[in-house]
Amino acid sequence: MKAPADGWDREEQETLAPFQQELETIRARHAEFSEHDQARLLRRIQKEAGPSQVRGSIFWTRPWLLAAASVVIVAGATYLLRDRWAPAESVPPAPERTVAVATPTPAQQFILSLDKPDLKVSPAALTYRRSASENPLLADLKPAFDAFRASDYAAADRAFSALEVGYPKSVEVFFYRGVSRLMLNDAPGAIASFTAAEKIADSAFAWDIDWYRAVAEERAGNVAAARERLTRLCQRPDTRAPKACEAVKTLPAGK
């Protein structure tokens, strides 16, 4: 704000003193604020304030003081609004914290291994006849066997389950369903299937049923029952007996 031609008198200097620092700051920041802009601002303030509100005031008698004060007010408001609506500076996102997650360990480590058995059929399945020349059992077993061979144990479980009613004397149906359930971590369901298979088992499946029943018993928490079955297998005249004898030694006693 330029001084009037006759300079600032004492009263004017005292009036402008509170605004001096703001005026200097605004003058440096808003050099483009022209005399024309100041005159327009003065007219607007005079119009909005009205003579009744400023009459008798030194601002009214000395309009350049009013304009100077107006510059402070308007420029200050402009500065505040500029800060409020200015685009926020791009702040790089804080790096993600790496949280160490402990890998859960099984609540119980099973000693007896669970291996997938080979597919086979009993002599009874080969000689099964529904009529004089018809043996549908082998054909009906094929979808279930295919699923088991592909390690799709959920599909195998469903397929063998569908055959139980039509072939209640087929040891293959109940034994391989029991193994499928074991592979699906369903030890109680496997025990139920092996129990049914034991009742109709022949020599081709007897050893296998006892072995996988022992595996199921351990997984069901019945370690004593597993030891009992393995002890019997160890005493049988079978080439797999040593496997059962070694397994008995690894199981803890008294459970």
How far is the C-alpha of 141 from the C-alpha of 128, rounded, in Å?
12
Close Cβ partners of 76 (under 8 Å, ≥ 6 residues apart): 22, 26
How far is the C-alpha of 68 from the C-alpha of 18, rounded, in Å?
11
How far is the C-alpha of 173 from the C-alpha of 145, rounded, in Å?
10
CB-side exposure of 145: number of CA atoms within 13 Å?
11
Q: Rounded to 5 degrees, what angle do the CA atoms 148, 154, 156 make?
A: 35
Six token digits for residue 205: 């499946």
Quick one: pLDDT at residue 251?
87
CB burial readout 169-191, b (16+ within 10 A) else e: ebbbbbbbbbbbbbbeebbebbb
Q: Identify the sign of the CA torsion 169, 171, 174, 176.
A: negative
Q: Compute CA distances 155 → 76, 88, 149, 212, whole Å.
A: 77, 58, 11, 20
Long-range contacts of 81-84 (CB under 8 A, 24+ apart): none
DSSP state of 50: -
Per-residue pLDDT of the chain (255 residues; tens, 9 = 90+): 555 555 556 665 665 566 566 556 655 555 555 666 656 655 665 565 555 444 444 444 454 444 444 444 444 444 433 444 344 455 555 555 543 333 333 445 889 999 999 999 999 999 888 766 678 999 999 999 999 999 999 999 999 999 999 999 999 999 999 999 999 999 999 999 999 999 999 999 999 999 999 999 999 999 999 999 999 999 998 899 999 999 999 888 755
pTM, full prediction: 0.57
CB distance 215 to 114 below 8 Å: yes
